[in-house]
Amino acid sequence: MTKLTVPVLAALFLAGSAAGALADKVGADWMPIGQVIQKVEAAGYTQISEIEADDGHWEGEGMKDGKPMKFKADPRTGAILSEKAGK
């Protein structure tokens, strides 16, 4: 089991509070955010600093191969749908 780091816990808190007000709502059949984080980490991401529901999928930021990246993940499976270089 992967340990959640302080930045991930902070992101989870924000996703459920102030940032959640700006994001879309999580669907009833969506994978829980903790499981999505595990899937994203299994896909090679580390230091996940943001994750939220947006436009019908999970959207977030983290590091992959030592580079900042943005990703979109399937809401039901957690599989990476797209990724691009972050800032």
Q: Identify whether 23 is part of a domain.
A: yes
Per-residue CA distances from 83 to 1, 29, 64, 79 (Å):
24, 23, 10, 11
Domain tally for the chain? 1
Q: Identify whether 1 is part of a domain.
A: no
Rounded to two decimals, the pTM is: 0.72
HSE-up (13 A, CA, CB side) for residue 23: 21
pLDDT tens per residue, the chain (87 residues)?
Answer: 445 555 554 555 444 544 444 568 898 999 999 999 999 999 999 999 999 999 999 999 999 999 999 999 999 999 999 999 987
**Which tokens go with 70?**
């943005």
Domain of 59?
6-85
Q: How far apart are CA 46 and CA 67, in angstroms?
A: 10
